[in-house]
Structure 1
């Protein structure tokens, strides 16, 4: 895996969803050559429409500007969970394609036959030579368009080598291969062609990776002050997944401290083992996870409860088991678990920080689904001189401000504490041992 060398001053972190929106609009307006946006979805709501209109306006202002958007095909062609069948976000894409004389390309990437079995979870937006990396998608709540928000991580990196690498991957994997049809045109491949595309794309994804041009000798460059070394990573499937392996390597080589951000607590078994081994080595480990009420599937009113609403309770059940099992490390001050909650807002942060030097910026949820089913990517940052420490510490302080530290597993609700409907459903799931299968898809 080849590293990209940049100055620490070329990396900037943002800490709020409103700053995310502001920066996104600013980058769209300032782009002159290319815009490549990759996200799980670009929603048909106020924020999504505002971003799309801004993209069309940018194209009108600069006709030679290349604009390519990549979203999950299955997600883009359905309504929200609980809504009636519809064209989903694709209806907006097609309408705008008719309304504007300019052309932008919106590609639908189908990683698996159905969304439940895997989605396009690549992240990263390219604006000329700037990469804007975030785990967030584009809709009202991610951009804090109304009263509620969903918190994520946001980072801009100025690097032609890095942006070229991201664009090359997207062009080669999805555009040149013709395996990701346009969603904003009438033509749609028939079922047989979609099946062929899916088979071909899965084969291609298993061997795909980011291509980075050679740079100066890394051994010599590593000694330079204020330099940051970035390795772009992609991962798909259980085997030979370089993103998963890089995550494990980080935990395994930790000497002093580890910080793990995950919105949904369900660590893959191999990663959980690595974390426990690190604790046994005396590595101080902090896990920052969303409270069940900060989960996007949480249903506050029991009368509105539906099956999908069980998801946050399953995650909390797994967290309580973990804390109970390793309570001794909490008592020793080695394991710190923080639950994030801010009114009815939600938590979507992901990533790993090790020894205040290594940072994994990723969209991966660090769970079995991400590690085996979804197409994921990330940036492994080696901050040799710790030039990013101040900005990442500022980010961390802001995140921790809305957390509660768990000192004992009894502070986390158990099944007996839950409302009647989720309690009954959980007991039924556990009785037929579906929970073991369910954890693979969460």
Structure 2
């Protein structure tokens, strides 16, 4: 319907029934690693993992070794690891030239008698224009949902960690739907290739196939029975989207608009799409309380300490802070009135990667979506929308939010945020140059 209310839109979504006792929220990065390895070790039927990357470091090696061990114990175990095509074939940003993780995958495969297939998914012909940002690990009938990728910092191997959200959801129909999507929308497509085997085709050679694949992705959906709309209690709706005006984008905007009392948003990079900013402003005018939890610039995964050599990518956290300061200045009256709470997360030495939305006490969104123009226009994203009409998860949601908030500080006035003049000289020089040619606005669409 043209004038369908946000609440009516949400109620009409198909969904899977969910038992509250079959949802577990893990409180730390360390517990995420422990549970992931335990689930892999105990797998009997299938392991499907989708992540931006599986890194060649101690954390990534521990996961890959666990996968090979699981296959050795259960030779009939279905395993499929999906990572971004481009990200797997380059080194880390700012590092010296490397063969990327794909070379490591092949070396590991050659040393094993069993196969653990690792697939590269090319969402676009260039990484800048879109990556696989799909989240969710399906192990037998359990879905482990997190925005985390697989490396040292996401798994807290070593001193540093990158905070995220971690949910274990036991739900066979949901797990089946997510696996079916991977099989039909991704693994069956000719653009998707094994990275653990030699002779990987070049991106140039499959450019036309990639473009066709992206068009197919735009119409791909998770399979949820139409009859499931009648589910009345706790339920989960899986959503997926890529490109402009996709179903997930629409859901996010509708979800925020549906709030009647309170909205809590987590995002690591403050660079909101216009549609999200617009609906937030509308809700503030209605008197809805909004809490936005953002990583401090020093907790951004692109932040470079002054003690290390500066690289261009290190300017990003400062760009995000400038965005936040402009937003805070425009909404200072709402901040002063307590309707808007901007909370900076900073556990010194660690980084922040949390994403998600809580609406009143009856909806929450688990997602890897960064709520930025890139997520809304370029990357392949997904999410799990939890509807909790009887508020069976209210207590656990409160515990999770309290754990997040323990490292936050509220911004009382926009002047508490630094300005361009306060930044390190190299950052200041770069941002001024970008601003003169308006390249900062262009960059905001891609980063």
TM range (shorter): over 0.9
Contact in 2 for aligned 1:161/1:213 (Cα 8 Å)? no
Greater Cα offset, 206-215 or 73-82: 206-215
Report Cα offsets for 1:279-338 as digits up to 9, x if no partner: 000000000000000001101126611111110000000000000000000111100010
The corresponding residue for 1:54 is 66
Question: Which segments of 5 or more consecutive residues in structure 1 lack a partner in the other structure?
Answer: none
- Does residue 194 in structure 1 map to residue 200 in structure 2? no
- Does residue 311 in structure 1 map to residue 310 in structure 2? no
Shift of 1:42: 0.4
Pick from 339, 358, 362 the counterpart of residue 353 of structure 1.
Answer: 358
| 1:222-371 to 2 correspondences below 5 Å | 222=232, 227-239=233-245, 241-301=246-306, 304-371=309-376
Contact in 2 for aligned 1:4/1:215 (Cα 8 Å)? no
Q: Summarize the Cα distance change of 1:207–1:217 in structure 2 as closer, same or farther, 3 Å threshold.
A: closer
| 1:170-189 to 2 correspondences below 5 Å | 170-189=182-201
Question: For the aligned residues, what is the CA RMSD?
Answer: 1.2
Whole-Å Cα distance in 2 between the matches of residues 419 and 216 of structure 1? 55
Pick from 134, 138, 145 the counterpart of residue 122 of structure 1.
Answer: 134
Shift of 1:151: 0.1
May I ask how many residue pairs the two structures share in their alignment?
Answer: 435
The corresponding residue for 1:33 is 45
Give me the TM-score of the superposition, normalised by structure 1.
0.96
Contact in 1 for aligned 2:14/2:229 (Cα 8 Å)? no
Question: Which segments of 5 or more consecutive residues in structure 2 lack a partner in the other structure?
Answer: 1-12
Shift of 1:215: 4.8
Pick from 69, 80, 102 the counterpart of residue 92 of structure 2.
Answer: 80
Whole-Å Cα distance in 1 between the matches of residues 303 and 349 of structure 2? 10
Whole-Å Cα distance in 2 between the matches of residues 237 and 267 of structure 1? 16
Whole-Å Cα distance in 2 between the matches of residues 192 and 275 of structure 1? 41
Report Cα offsets for 1:248-281 as digits up to 9, x if no partner: 0111111000000000001100110100100000
Contact in 2 for aligned 1:43/1:89 (Cα 8 Å)? yes
Contact in 2 for aligned 1:263/1:290 (Cα 8 Å)? yes
Whole-Å Cα distance in 1 between the matches of residues 64 and 164 of structure 2? 21
Give me the TM-score of the superposition, normalised by structure 2.
0.95
Contact in 2 for aligned 1:251/1:258 (Cα 8 Å)? yes
Shift of 1:196: 2.4
Secondary structure, in 3 states, of the residue corresponding to 1:381?
A: strand
Whole-Å Cα distance in 2 between the matches of residues 217 and 379 of structure 1? 16
Shift of 1:85: 2.2
Shift of 1:9: 1.1
Report Cα offsets for 1:108-162 as digits up to 9, x if no partner: 0011112111110000000000000000000000000000000000001111110
